[in-house]
Amino acid sequence: MFSQSVQPNVVSLFSSTGSDPLGLFSVHTDRALPSDSFVHLLNDDTSLPHPSPPAMLVAPPLLVQEAHDESVTSGYSLSQTVLHIQSPSLPTTFIRTPPTSPNGRSVRHLSADLGMKHEWLHLQVRNMGREFSFEVGLVDRAGREGVVRCSTFQVLSIVSLPLWSLLNFLHHVFLCHFKTMPPCQRHDHNSSTYDLFSQKEPRVKMDSSPPILLLPLTFPISSSRPLTAWTIINLNISSLIPHYSSRSLASLYATSDIQGSPSSSRRADAPSGAYSHISYLKIYATCRLRRVWFSDSGPGGKVPWEFELYGDL
């Protein structure tokens, strides 16, 4: 889609407040679950308009334990249109770019490859109290493909990495910033970063084609008293390539896989060279989504003012 285009330092791929938010995406839902599998634009603060019947919205979870205290529950939502993606069945409900038809084939007039060359992916999402996942396809300069899957349902494996090694790996490649949002003030880039990963482990699934790097994702718990319901996820795509050849991460998957160790042929197909580009992006249920963008710099980089989050009075 964009491989032949001039790509500036910051490229917005999705904005829920744009004139055509899903213009670059295809929408996939589960027809067997008409009341609980849908994608719908609504106001985050009021959850209006309601989706067409028989669809029924799930309520966002409370962010604090003292729900009766209005002083700590106000200002959490956005007075903006956002995209609500909902389903109890994640594999069947998602948005994807480049778009594909229901049978998985690429839309005829669009490329099957996104061709985005930036090293950083950024998402603004809201936790809806259900499982959530997103998936990125990456390609190295030799054309070898890999998949990065970040999910809240990542399970513990039988064998553990040393804690210091695990935390160093996760802090290096996957930074989730939960930014404070006082009323009527804009987010800044100096707010707290939560350590989310001490109970979950990354793995590499080498017996699939293309190989999959599985990364755990956890939203902050209510006792942490976040000042916003919204999360900015910053993912460094290029730094993930070396981990496809990590024997320790691959062994974590192999230990929990009854089929045994990954084959050497699959390992040879894994990306291992310099980073080239992102081939696709899929965002699964269940979440609310405000913006998706790519950049050449990390979370400390300068972005347009409309990318920031604002609190209510």
**Coil vs helix vs strand at 151:** strand
pLDDT of the residue at 191: 32
Q: Indicate the pTM of the whole model.
A: 0.78
pLDDT of the residue at 92: 93
pLDDT of the residue at 298: 79
Domains of the chain by residue range: 13-101+112-157+198-252+266-297
Residue pLDDT tens, the chain, 313 long: 766 666 788 899 999 999 999 999 999 999 999 999 999 999 999 999 999 999 999 988 876 655 455 444 455 788 899 999 999 988 999 999 999 877 666 655 556 789 999 999 999 999 999 999 999 999 999 999 999 999 988 754 322 233 334 444 444 444 444 333 333 233 333 333 333 333 456 777 766 678 888 888 888 766 556 667 888 899 999 999 988 887 666 655 544 333 334 444 445 588 888 999 999 999 999 999 999 999 998 787 777 767 776 555 4
What's the DSSP call for residue 153? Answer: T
CB 298, CB 106: distance < 8 Å: no
Rounded Cα distance between 118 and 297, Å, is 8
H or E element, residue 294: strand 287-295
Rounded Cα distance between 295 and 119, Å, is 7
CB 97, CB 307: distance < 8 Å: no
Nearest to 149, CA basis, from 202, 195, 81? 202
pLDDT of the residue at 55: 96
Nearest to 285, CA basis, from 89, 125, 103, 98? 89
pLDDT of the residue at 111: 63
Residues 6+ apart with CB under 8 A from 69: none
pLDDT of the residue at 295: 92
**Coil vs helix vs strand at 71:** helix
